């Protein structure tokens, strides 16, 4: 029996990525990173800013996301997100731009705790990329 | 009968109008293809989103304490209507169909003695509504600068709606837009987005999910996103409908202009012949009298 399952990433504009030979996906879930293997129990969770790692036979891919929802059911993993970038397409200047934006957001004083937390997360993740 | 010169001028002017409408039709056809494509591409996201929310709301145990965006405020006193129209005209019945649908809904609400608030998206809707419902319009948004429909615009509208909901400005929110069926048919839609109306829809799976963190937290995170997603979907449908409507309107206009040119040409030829005949008669009768 193969140990592979299907993953689909969609953003509002289009279906971003479909892959059906995936062996493991690591997602930055809200309460910590979560690795998903085949025959995982059905789960719904949401994401915080971080890196999605997709491990598959045809090569590994990494994506940067800022938010999103994951749903896993019957060996189908759906990831809904509004902001996603493939790390291999992302050059330094793009990273710097995002980092600058995130830092600005994190330094605002009039935001509530949750958005402050999310902005801090963004900064942290983007810094580790550089 | 108009003189020959007048007729000639009219024919030229109709012909140049025809050129314009023909060009607009071509442009609309090209844009329509793109809009249709992006509407189709955007569908998986909103469908998936809907599915997840359906599964979540079925799994929620404590219906009393469900987030207000899902269950409503418990009353239906103030209605907010988001009317989505285009920024440009010359697109047939596109805008008036939405406005007609919206107006009949407004009348119903006002008849029931409820309060009405309106947000217009797109300047054409604002133009048509401000005459009658000017005092009810609380916000007017227009995305003239953005070339294509994008999610951030939709998110802006969504966030505004949620903000107003949270401070208790309204209880029920409905969006009005045209659903794209095909080039000649667009169906004006009224869709209630707050509280979410899921009745009649059955969840596809019997399976229970594991939630991390718990249902309430996911729901309260997800529902605002869903609002933006629904608005985005409406915007995509709307832009496809607008182009489709414009295309068929311009096609009609081009055909009508063609008919008019034919008619005018016949009239022109006829009066030219009449003038020649008249001159001939004059010459012949002049020669006879000699």
CATH code: domain of residue A50: 2.60.15.10
Buried b (16+ CB within 10 A) or exposed e, B83-102: bbbbbeeebbebbbbbbebb
Mutate to test the interface with A, among B153, B154, B210 (most CBs of A within 10 A): B210
Please state the domain count of chain A. 2
Of A8, A13, A34, the CB nearest to B41: A13
Q: Is residue B3 part of a domain?
A: no
Q: How far A44 CA lies from chain B's nearest CA (Å)? A: 5
Q: Which residues of B touch A13 (CB under 8 A)?
A: 38, 41-42, 150-151
Instruction: For residue B213, give the chain A residue with the closest CA.
Output: A45
Distance CA B67, CA B48 (A): 20
Crossing angle for the helix pair B123-133 and B94-111, nearest 10 degrees?
40
CATH code, B94: 3.40.1380.10
Are A43 and A75 members of one domain? yes
A67 and A13 housed in the same domain: yes
Is residue B259 a part of any domain in this protein?
no
The residues, ordered by sequence, that sit 6+ positions from A27 with a Cβ below 8 Å of its Cβ are A33, A34, A36, A45, A47, A50, A52, A70, A79
Residue B268 lies in a domain: no
- pLDDT tens column, B237-263: 999 999 999 999 999 999 999 999 999
Domain assignment present for residue B120? The answer is yes
Instruction: Give the range of the structural domain holding residue B151, as residue numbers without chain letter.
Output: 45-249
In this structure, the answer to whether residues A62 and A122 fall within a common structural domain is: no
Give B262's contacts (C-beta < 8 A, 6+ positions apart).
Answer: none
B283, part of any domain: no
The answer to whether position B84 is within a domain reads: yes
Statement to judge: residues A29 and A59 lie in one domain: yes
Which residue matches tokens 């909103």?
A: B46
* A22-77 per-position pLDDT tens digit: 899 999 888 888 898 888 888 888 888 888 999 888 888 888 888 888 888 888 89
Contacting residues of A for B155, CB less than 8 Å apart: 82
Asked if the C-beta of B208 comes within 8 angstroms of chain A's C-beta atoms, the answer is yes
Distance between CA B244 and CA A66 in Å, rounded? Answer: 35
Are the beta carbons of A73 and B154 separated by less than 8 Å?
Answer: no
- Provide the pLDDT for residue B257: 96
CB-based contact (8 Å) between A41 and chain B?
A: yes
- Ranges A104-113, B71-80, B164-173, most confident: B164-173
- The answer to whether the Cβ–Cβ distance between A13 and B210 falls below 8 Å is no
**Chain A residues within 8 A of B154 when measuring between CB atoms:** 12
User: What pLDDT shows up at residue B264?
Assistant: 95
The partner residue sitting opposite A29, judged by closest CB among B205, B212, B222, is B212
Instruction: Indicate whether A59 and A31 sit together in one domain.
Output: yes
Contact B207 A73 (CB under 8 A): yes
A97 shares a domain with A75: no
| B256 within a domain of the structure (yes/no) | no
| Residues in A touching B205 (Cβ below 8 Å) | 73
Residue A44 to residue B55, Cβ atoms within 8 A? yes
Same domain (yes/no): A57, A98: no
**Catalytic annotation present for B91:** yes
Output the pLDDT for position A1: 52
Band of the pLDDT at B283, cuts 50, 70, 90?
Answer: very high
Q: Do A26 and A67 belong to one domain?
A: yes
Same-domain pairing of A50 and A11: yes
B205 touches chain A (CB under 8 A): yes
Residues linked to residue B176 through DSSP beta bridges, in sequence order: B83, B190
Q: How many domains does chain B have?
A: 1
Q: Do B218 and A44 touch (CB under 8 A)?
A: yes
**Residue B47: what pLDDT?**
83
Do A11 and A73 lie in a common domain?
Answer: yes
| Cβ B121 vs Cβ B100: under 8 Å | no
A107 shares a domain with A76: no
**Share above pLDDT 70 across residues of chain B, in percent, rounded to a whole number:** 93
Would you call B155 and A69 a contact, using CB atoms and an 8 Å cutoff?
no
Domain that holds residue A26: 5-86
Decide if A69 and B150 are in contact by the 8 Å CB cutoff. no
CB pairs under 8 A between A and B: 76
B12 near A CB under 8 A: no
**A74 to chain B: closest CA residue:** B207
pLDDT of residue B202: 55
Residue B35 belongs to a domain: no
ipTM of the complex: 0.78
Same domain for A9 and A28, yes or no, is yes
- Which residue among the candidates B91, B121, B222, B257 is catalytic per the annotation? B91
* Residues B84, B121 contacting (CB under 8 angstroms): yes
CB neighbour list of residue B83: distance below 8 Å, 6 or more residues apart: B98, B99, B102, B118, B119, B120, B121, B125, B129, B175, B176
Q: Do B48 and A78 touch (CB under 8 A)?
A: yes
Q: What is the tens place of the pLDDT at every residue in B83-102?
A: 999 988 888 889 999 999 99
Helix (H, G, I), strand (E, B) or coil at B134: helix
């Amino acid at each position: 029996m193969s140990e592979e399952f299907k993953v689909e990433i969609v953003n509002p504009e289009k279906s971003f990525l479909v892959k059906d030979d995936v062996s493991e996906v690591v997602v930055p879930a809200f309460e910590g990173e979560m690795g998903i293997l085949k025959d995982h129990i059905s789960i719904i969770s949401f994401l915080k800013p971080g890196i999605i790692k997709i491990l598959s036979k045809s090569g590994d891919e990494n994506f940067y996301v800022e938010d999103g929802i994951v749903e896993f059911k019957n060996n189908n993993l759906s990831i809904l997100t509004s902001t996603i970038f493939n790390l291999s397409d992302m050059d330094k200047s793009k990273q710097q731009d995002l980092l600058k934006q995130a830092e600005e957001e994190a330094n605002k004083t009039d935001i509530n705790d949750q958005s402050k937390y999310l902005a801090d997360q963004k900064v942290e993740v983007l810094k580790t990329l550089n | 009968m108009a003189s020959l010169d007048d007729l000639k001028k009219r024919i030229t002017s109709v012909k140049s109008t025809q050129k314009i409408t023909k060009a607009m039709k071509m442009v609309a056809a090209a844009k329509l293809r793109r809009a249709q494509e992006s509407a189709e591409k955007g569908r998986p996201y909103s469908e998936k989103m809907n599915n997840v929310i359906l599964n979540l709301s079925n799994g929620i145990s404590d219906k009393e304490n469900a987030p207000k965006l899902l269950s409503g405020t418990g009353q239906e006193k103030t209605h907010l209507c988001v009317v989505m129209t285009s920024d440009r005209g010359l697109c047939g019945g596109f805008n008036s169909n939405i406005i007609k649908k919206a107006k009949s809904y407004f009348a119903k609400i006002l008849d029931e003695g409820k309060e009405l608030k309106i947000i217009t998206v797109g300047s054409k809707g604002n133009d048509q509504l401000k005459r009658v419902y000017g005092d009810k319009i609380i916000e007017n948004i227009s995305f003239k600068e953005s070339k294509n429909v994008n999610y951030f615009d939709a998110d802006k509208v969504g966030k505004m709606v949620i903000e107003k909901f949270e401070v208790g400005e309204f209880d029920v929110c409905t969006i009005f837009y045209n659903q794209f069926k095909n080039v000649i048919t667009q169906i004006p839609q009224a869709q209630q987005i707050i509280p979410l109306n899921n009745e009649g829809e059955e969840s596809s799976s019997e399976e229970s999910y594991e939630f991390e963190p718990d249902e309430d937290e996911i729901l309260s995170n997800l529902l605002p996103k869903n609002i933006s997603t629904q608005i985005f979907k409406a915007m995509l449908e709307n832009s496809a409908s607008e182009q489709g409507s414009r295309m068929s309107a311009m096609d009609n206009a081009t055909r009508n202009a063609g008919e008019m040119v034919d008619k005018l040409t016949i009239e022109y030829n006829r009066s030219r012949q009449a003038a020649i005949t008249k001159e001939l008669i004059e010459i012949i009768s002049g020669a006879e009298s000699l």
